[in-house]
Homo-oligomer: A and B are copies of this chain.
Amino acid sequence: MRIKLVITYDGTAYCGWQRQKNGVSVQEIVEKAVEEVCGSRATVTGSGRTDSGVHAAAQVAHFDAECSIPPERIYLALNTRLPDDVKVVSSEKADDGFHARFSAKKKTYAYDFYFSDVILPLKDRYSLKLDVRPDFSLMRAAADVFCGEHDFAAFCGTGSSVKDTVRTVYSVDIDERQGGFTVKVTGNGFLYNMVRVMAGTILAAGYGEISPEDISSALESGKRSRYFKTLPAKGLTLLKVEYN
């Protein structure tokens, strides 16, 4: 039987979702719990990698197993085996054709910022400190350029082996709030580091270091500018994965 899980985690202590030789991954932590609960080893396939240190409010994954526990109660059994920084929010029976990665239609990530000249311990675990407030209209103009289908070759981290770098970004919202803001990106998929580079680029635009035209050019040429910084992992959270 195929089981779909929705998983939330604080990524601080992990090398990311995917199994790695160095470091503990969220995937192996969940697989270990599945083995204990269902009595047999199973690969738990996520909707995609999240990088080392990136958080998830709702990562989606699936695995195949015969389990004596009813599907919709498996998450409770898993949670008794999981550490406090990795928990399963829900579990359900999925169609055999469901695949957490290949069936995913949309993903939404949020990158969070706060304004302060001092590291604020109560915010710093899930948010990036900015000494200077950027210009919001400049950021929004830059964000708009990313929307649509583009070749994002200039906006992914080095070390990515993906050949097709065309992705569709459905929306990039800049949500302002007291003392900070969030860049929320929804797309049909994201390249390695892509959201962190996009957020870094939008921030650079907010400081007037680059223009919307620079972003357009990079989307066309595939050439990365030195202003397209990859922001640290901790500000990034996978908010949701949507399926048909």
Q: Which residues of A contact B (CB under 8 A)?
A: 8-10, 55, 57, 75, 79, 84-89, 118-122, 124-126, 237
Of the residues B75, B87, B118, B124, contact of A121 by C-beta under 8 Å: B87
User: With the chains together, A87 CA to B121 CA distance in Å?
Assistant: 7
Chain B residues within 8 Å of A120, by CB: 8, 87, 89
User: With the chains together, A55 CA to B119 CA distance in Å?
Assistant: 15
B121 and A8 contacting across the interface, CB-CB below 8 Å: yes
User: Beyond the given A8-B121, A79-B118, could you list 16 further A-B residue pairs with CB under 8 A, ordered by the A residue number?
Assistant: A8-B122, A9-B121, A10-B122, A10-B125, A55-B121, A57-B122, A79-B119, A84-B119, A84-B124, A86-B121, A87-B118, A87-B119, A87-B120, A88-B118, A89-B120, A125-B125
Q: Which residue of B lies closest to A119 (CB)?
A: B87
Q: Which residue of B lies closest to A55 (CB)?
A: B122
Chain B residues within 8 Å of A79, by CB: 118-119
Q: How near does chain B come to A17, taking the closest CB pair, in angstroms?
A: 14
Residue pairs across A and B with Cβ atoms less than 8 A apart, 16 shown, are: A8-B118, A8-B121, A55-B121, A55-B122, A75-B118, A79-B118, A84-B121, A84-B124, A85-B121, A86-B121, A87-B118, A87-B120, A89-B118, A89-B120, A122-B126, A122-B237
Interface centre among A9, A85, A118, A121 (most CB of B within 10 A): A121
Q: Sorted from nearest, which 10 A-B pairs have the closest CB atoms?
A: A10-B121, A85-B121, A87-B118, A87-B119, A89-B118, A9-B121, A84-B119, A8-B120, A55-B122, A8-B121
Q: How near does chain B come to A76, taking the closest CB pair, in angstroms?
A: 8
Chain B residues within 8 Å of A75, by CB: 118
Interface centre among A9, A120, A122 (most CB of B within 10 A): A122
Chain B residues within 8 Å of A8, by CB: 118, 120-122
User: With the chains together, A88 CA to B117 CA distance in Å?
Assistant: 10
Chain B residues within 8 Å of A125, by CB: 10, 125
Chain B residues within 8 Å of A86, by CB: 121
Chain B residues within 8 Å of A88, by CB: 118
User: With the chains together, A85 CA to B84 CA distance in Å?
Assistant: 20
User: With the chains together, A88 CA to B120 CA distance in Å?
Assistant: 9
User: With the chains together, A55 CA to B122 CA distance in Å?
Assistant: 8
Chain B residues within 8 Å of A89, by CB: 118, 120
